[in-house]
Amino acid sequence: MIITLKRKATKQEENKVIEKIKKLGYIPHISRGVDITIIGMIGELAEKYRDLFESMDEVDHISEIEKPYKLASREFKHDDTIIKLPYGIKIGGKKVPIIAGPCAIESKSVLDEIAKIVKAGGGTILRGGAYKPRSSPYTFQGLGEKGLKFLHDVGLKYKIPTISEAMSVEQVPLVSKYCDIVQIGARNIQNYDLLKACGKQKKPVLLKRGMATTIKEWLLSAEYILSQGNYNVMLCERGIRTFETATRFTLDLNAIPVVKKLTHLPVVLDPSHGIGIREHVPTMAKACLAVGADAIALEIHPRPEEALSDGAQSLLPDQYKKLVADLKRIAEALDREI
Ligand code: PEP
Ligand code: MN
């Protein structure tokens, strides 16, 4: 149920409604426009309080959002969400940050070497997995908390925000403590306890689309995080599984205009996992920008043949540098900036 307050409602009037919602055991979700504030009161049985709120002087009217995802929808919040990160980096505005780094954090020295390349090449966010969701239990599983500490230290040294994945509820506080963005991987998109745990902590969350997740399911997973009061959620398209085996996944570029019409949340694109072939990553990265990406995530490695995971799709430093330079030129034509 969406409660629209009277035009130019005062803080006091707003608080009266908020307190009533809290008293009934619901979380008030507030969206402030220039003159109009709307408050979402969402949950089973919220409807039964419709008359109660409708009769309040502070309330203009009550409405419903038809879509199953409420807080993620453009009906709840018309304007694009802009997520603020340290060092003045924003995701969701005119600028398109480049998220780059290794698939996995392998050692402090390699991470430091890569961070230098990321920064010098024009990247603005450093990625690196410490907990790795590997298909085989016999391959490198990540450095765990030690890796997160390396990421934290290197991020501080290069003054660059960081992102890393949490695979379980227990890992959420650790990733949240050491990193600036918590990543939820494709394989965990419907791990609802994990999504709720991300919603209860304060750091922004990057939610990767599952390889067999519909757009509706993807937005409903985002809703799980939003419903807990964390509104800094970005979606990430990273390729879905189709009948095609010549590429690692099929990057669903179709989804981007569709999702952007449905939601105000920023959309990040990951061409590295999407195609999985180093040689073709730059081409797809350019397509990502053209289709409306709010950020682009790239895996890079100075010696991909030695990489402990995803070497085949990791860009070499020179490829990365040239790609970011090309993206800058394309961004200009699209009225965006890198
Ligand atoms: C990753 O970003 O390294 C990763 C494992 O991604 P995904 O969850 O999209 O497979
Ligand atoms: Mn990877």
Retrieve residue 241's tokens: 């599984």
- Across the range 242-261, mean pLDDT stands at 98
pLDDT digits (tens, 9 = 90+) for 256-305: 999 999 999 999 999 999 999 999 999 999 999 999 999 999 999 999 99
Give the bridge partners for 268, in sequence order: 236, 295
Q: Would the CB of 186 count as within 6 Å of ligand 1?
A: yes
CA-proximal residue: ligand 1, atom 1 (nearest): 103
For position 33, what pLDDT does the model report? 85
pLDDT band at 34 (very low <50, low <70, confident <90, very high): confident
Q: Is the pLDDT of residue 179 over 90?
A: yes
For position 277, what pLDDT does the model report? 98
Please tell me the distance between residue 42's alpha carbon and the centre of ligand 1 in angstroms.
31
CA 176 to chain centroid, in Å, comes to 14
Ligand nearest to the backbone CA of 165:
1
Ligand nearest to the backbone CA of 240:
1
Rounded CA gap, 34 and 208, in Å? 32
- Across the range 165-183, mean pLDDT stands at 98
Question: Is the distance from CB of 27 to CB of 229 less than 8 angstroms?
Answer: yes
Rounded CA gap, 142 and 144, in Å? 6
- Across the range 306-326, mean pLDDT stands at 98
Q: Is the pLDDT of residue 159 over 90?
A: yes
Q: Would the CB of 185 count as within 6 Å of ligand 1?
A: yes
At 280, which helix (H) or strand (E)? Answer: none
Q: Would the CB of 172 count as within 6 Å of ligand 1?
A: no
Please tell me the distance between residue 18's alpha carbon and the centre of ligand 1 in angstroms.
39
pLDDT digits (tens, 9 = 90+) for 49-71: 999 999 999 999 999 999 999 99
Q: Is the pLDDT of residue 44 over 90?
A: no
With a pLDDT cut of 90, the percent of the chain lying above it is 98
Retrieve residue 187's tokens: 């394989």
Give the bridge partners for 32, in sequence order: 37
Strands 295-299 and 267-269, by their bridges, are parallel
- Across the range 302-316, mean pLDDT stands at 98
- Across the range 212-217, mean pLDDT stands at 98
Rounded CA gap, 201 and 90, in Å? 19
Please tell me the distance between residue 74's alpha carbon and the centre of ligand 2 in angstroms.
31
For position 303, what pLDDT does the model report? 98
For position 3, what pLDDT does the model report? 97
Q: Which of 25-34, 112-121, 154-163, 311-320 has the lowest mean pLDDT?
A: 25-34
pLDDT band at 190 (very low <50, low <70, confident <90, very high): very high
pLDDT digits (tens, 9 = 90+) for 220-229: 999 999 999 9
CA distance from start to end of the chain: 39
Q: What is the mean pLDDT of the chain?
A: 97
Q: Is the pLDDT of residue 14 over 90?
A: yes
